[in-house]
Amino acid sequence: MSSNVYQSADSKPGFTEAEDARRSAPAALRNREPIREVLVRVLPTTGTVLEIAAGTGEHAVAFAAALPGVTWLPSDPEPGMRASIAAHAAAEGVANVAEPLDLDVSADTWPVERADALVCINLLHISPWAATQGLFAGCARILPPGAPVVVYGPFTRDGAHTSESNAKFDAQLRSKNPEWGIRDVAEVAGDAQRHGVALDEVVEMPANNLILVMRMTSDRRA
């Protein structure tokens, strides 16, 4: 899937760009603290954490700083975002952020053979359903049993939006691209289960978002 088919985690309209390669997204600055609280609780304290569609890199730097024992491995298909990630890591002096990978989430192979956890923030609703399927297929290829898979964003529950603002947002997304749209928790969990990724916990987040905390099982049926 080419980089213009979906937007990266923080590549919202209105992001700003510094004199160097750093970009900034207001949404990343608003939501990183509540997300970080959950990640510190559920992620391992050592090993490699792969972040899918890491966007500007503001999340990557903040989360890596909160988990100094891990190697934070960000990825993004957009060269400008990868440059922004590296620039943020250098500017903040966060040594445990690895060189960003050029990773297409829907590809049959990823440029990483193994990780100990996976994080995906604000991707599923701004990408085709194939990206969701590719995400969990990739988890099955690279994650060991018990590894956490953390997915953040807006979701519907039992087919219903959790707020009027999410319903309007969903309509806007689908008007831009009919393959985009807010996904249902049960639909996402069902596809994840096909690849041996089991839903463990749903965490309510600010601004009508959710975190789905999942874990790899030993059953990889797909």
Is residue 178, in this structure, part of any structural domain at all?
A: yes
Q: Cβ(146)–Cβ(183) under 8 Å?
A: no
Name the CA dihedral angle for 100, 105, 110, 113, rounded to a multiple of 10 degrees: 80
- Calculate the alpha carbon distances from 6 to 29, 92, 104, 116 in Å: 21, 28, 10, 25
Is residue 3, in this structure, part of any structural domain at all?
A: no
Residue with tokens 């990889």: 220
pLDDT value at position 218?
79
DSSP-assigned letters across all residues of 7-31 = --TT--TT-EE-SSS-EE-HHHHHH
- CATH number of the domain to which 79 belongs: 3.40.50.150
Is residue 4, in this structure, part of any structural domain at all?
A: no
Residue-range definition of the domain harbouring residue 104: 16-216
**Segment 149-178, tens digit of pLDDT:** 999 999 999 999 999 999 999 999 999 999
Q: Cβ(42)–Cβ(148) under 8 Å?
A: yes
Is residue 69, in this structure, part of any structural domain at all?
A: yes
pLDDT value at position 220?
66
pLDDT value at position 221?
59
pLDDT value at position 222?
54
- DSSP category for residue 101: B
pLDDT value at position 1?
33
pTM for the model stands at 0.90
pLDDT value at position 10?
41
Q: How many domains does the chain have?
A: 1
Q: In 3D, which of 50, 52, 55, 51 has the Cα closest to residue 7?
A: 55
Is residue 9, in this structure, part of any structural domain at all?
A: no
Is residue 99, in this structure, part of any structural domain at all?
A: yes
Is residue 222, in this structure, part of any structural domain at all?
A: no
Q: What strand order describes the sheet that includes 47-52?
A: 70-74, 47-52, 117-121, 148-153, 209-216, 197-205
Exposed e or buried b for every residue in 121-145, given b needs 16+ CB within 10 A?
bbbbbbbbbebbbbbbbbbbebbee
Is residue 95, in this structure, part of any structural domain at all?
A: yes
Low-confidence ranges of the chain (pLDDT < 50): 1-14
CA distance 109 to 205: 32
CA distance 94 to 62: 9
